Structure 1
């Protein structure tokens, strides 16, 4: 079940109220989950219950995505605006410096939260921001194409396609290495989330100038990359390691850009390893795959 929290943010037009949809379950240290552009909090469904066995897990629809409304008029979707909004969200939820795991855009936001010392640890799954100009343009072109297709297909066609493995592959193989594992209902929901996201265009435009080059000192960082990522190529993980020398770089064999669906057990283990409370002894050896 999801809920909604409202809180006040600063905008160019003064203080305004905004709302965010979230799902929260589990006990333990808080863990905030951030999805990628055009997706929604249900991206984390394959790992949510597994993580909630050990953490107080909060998955959110980023502002302007899923069922979270667009940001107030005049409010930018750039990092300097969205990161403080996420800080205000945590305050509204009563979370003090959570662990954070993010995928794609969510991974970039997680790293920025780490750089601002707003979180205890960061796990970034195929994070944006480590691209060359040509790699960024390729990724943005693919995302625009996916959005156009999602908007052009009638809903009955999307529903029909989702009921076959070939149809799910056609709709989602750009982000999943194993699209057949995604349920028909999930494929329909995320395709509709992509087509209706009011924050998509402004977020993509804000990303044109993004390049993550600074270290994240004083915060444990894990960067994980799917070996089958077709959107942000895995060589970008090496650049992430150069930018953040202290980061743990983990390879996710057989996983695509959104790895939670492709290998839930592995992704859960990587996130739990990366968000271990200080002094906690892991139940198994550290997952060091790259």
Structure 2
């Protein structure tokens, strides 16, 4: 699913999470200045999936990461379990390594689920989840996994998919953190009706449909995605007197 922008040389950040035996190293690219905005990709992708969106995010200190084991980020030590709890701990440590405190976080698919968990852990000042994984039925999960299995997957992707088979990937609210959930109306991998399940768990979440977008809206309409990310971080524009 990668390939929407040319790869730039990566920088690297390290972090050691409490309770995990190894240091995690992630590749990243960083642009601009302002409030920090961290971008997380999904399974089968890397930081390049945000390539068309990043130039539209002027005014933010934008950081696109390769999750551990994806893209240019080395795989974590084999003895370290790859799961959501570990991913949240790793990201918190990486934020420290990057010198950012409670950034805005936007994630797609698996990255969207991680972003929601980061918000729940108090590590994000706002969360934007684009078609977040984990809000599926058993049948929907098996279909998504079958589609992903047909693409070329590395060890990290396989480990992430194994972790995704666990029950209750997300439960509980995200108190005190603005949450935006955006979904492509033409998403065939994770159908857009799953957004209602997110809303049931996170009642305060703002739901935003992405018209004519599939599972990777950053490729289908980068301008719309950039606008959603801006509104999630800064608040939607105020309505005028005529209601527009």
Fold shared by both chains (TM-score > 0.5): yes
Q: Does 1:202 align with 2:208?
A: no
Deviations 1:246-272 (A, max 9, x none): 000000000011100100111100000
> Counterpart in 2 of 1:124?
129
Q: Does 1:274 align with 2:243?
A: no
- Is this contact kept in 1: 2:36–2:103, CA < 8 A? yes
State the alpha-carbon separation in 2 of the partners of residues 219 and 228 from structure 1.
Answer: 28
State the alpha-carbon separation in 2 of the partners of residues 131 and 18 from structure 1.
Answer: 29
> Counterpart in 2 of 1:232?
190
CA RMSD for the aligned pairs?
1.7
State the alpha-carbon separation in 2 of the partners of residues 263 and 78 from structure 1.
Answer: 31
Shift in Å, 1:10: 4.9
State the alpha-carbon separation in 2 of the partners of residues 62 and 205 from structure 1.
Answer: 16
Counterpart secondary structure, 1:275 = helix
Counterpart secondary structure, 2:51 = helix
Structure 2 unaligned blocks of 5 or more: 1-7
Which of 57, 61, 68 is residue 56 of structure 1 equivalent to? 61
- Is this contact kept in 1: 2:15–2:90, CA < 8 A? no
Which of 89, 94, 114 is residue 119 of structure 2 equivalent to? 114
State the alpha-carbon separation in 2 of the partners of residues 145 and 60 from structure 1.
Answer: 25
State the alpha-carbon separation in 1 of the partners of residues 143 and 196 from structure 2.
Answer: 19
Which of 11, 14, 29 is residue 3 of structure 1 equivalent to? 11
Alignment of structure 1 residues 63-142 onto 2, 5 Å: 63-142=68-147
> Counterpart in 2 of 1:173?
none
Shift in Å, 1:210: 4.4
Deviations 1:37-80 (A, max 9, x none): 111000000101111x1210000000011110111121111111
State the alpha-carbon separation in 2 of the partners of residues 29 and 224 from structure 1.
Answer: 21
State the alpha-carbon separation in 1 of the partners of residues 222 and 49 from structure 2.
Answer: 11
Rg comparison, structure with higher value: 1
> Counterpart in 2 of 1:258?
216
Equivalences, count: 231
State the alpha-carbon separation in 1 of the partners of residues 88 and 56 from structure 2.
Answer: 27
Which of 30, 35, 52 is residue 24 of structure 1 equivalent to? 30
Shift in Å, 1:213: 3.1
Instruction: State the 4+ residue runs in structure 1 displaced beyond 6 angstroms.
Output: none
- Is this contact kept in 1: 2:15–2:96, CA < 8 A? no
Shift in Å, 1:215: 1.3
Shift in Å, 1:207: 0.4
State the alpha-carbon separation in 1 of the partners of residues 23 and 204 from structure 2.
Answer: 38
Which of 45, 49, 54 is residue 43 of structure 1 equivalent to? 49
Shift in Å, 1:141: 1.1
Structure with more helix by fraction: 1
Which of 143, 151, 173 is residue 215 of structure 1 equivalent to? 173
> Counterpart in 1 of 2:4?
none
> What is the TM-score with the length of structure 1 in the denominator?
0.76
Shift in Å, 1:11: 6.1
